[in-house]
Amino acid sequence: MNWVFEHIQVIVAIAAAIAYMLNRGKQVPEGGAEEAGEDSERARRIREEIRRKIAERRAGAPAPLQQETPEEAPPVNRAPSVPPLDPFGGPARRQLPTLRRPEPVQPEPQMTSAEMSAVLVRQEQLAGQMRELERTRGVQQRRAEEISTAAAVAALPAAPASRSGLLADLRQAQNLRRAILLREVLGPPVALR
């Protein structure tokens, strides 16, 4: 088993060579030359048909048909349909309505100096109101922070004043369990001790 892992590159190279040979054998099936000839003939007929249709559309009249033998001519299904749109602006483009150009926009009338001074006074009043609102919001936010800090301090249990007080607290089983749990949660991980 170790030999396989030590010589994995050789095994991969041999497998790739075998796969290449198998794929190469599949590429040339029996009668491949006949199928290739039929495919090229079919492609040639399709190209001729496309060229003929393009010439008809550009000229507006049918292009002269090349002489085809009845054996080679594929049956053409000519169902009545909507003529395709010409992407280069043929007859269909002439049928589209032309768009009207928008009328030029009239410039707004200029404000007089009295109107301008009234607007500036109003803007100064609004700016003063905004400053006042920001100041009161700041005061209220500081008060809320002070209240929340005071509530958090009040919620904390009173800390023992000395080592003896701490040892007295740890004599009770419930407080000892709490201390161990806090050390596990807040202390260093077990792997780093």
Encode pLDDT of 134-161 as tens digits.
999 999 999 999 998 888 877 766 555 6
Average pLDDT over residues 20-32: 72
- Domain extents in the chain: 115-154
Encode pLDDT of 41-98 as tens digits.
999 999 999 999 999 988 875 545 555 554 555 555 555 566 666 666 665 555 555 6
> Dihedrals φ, ψ of 144, to 5°?
-65, -40
Distance CA 150, CA 48 (A): 91
Distance CA 8, CA 168 (A): 69
Confidence of residue 119 (pLDDT cuts 50, 70, 90): very high
SS3 152: helix
Query: Per the structure block, which two tokens stand in for 66?
Result: 């090349």
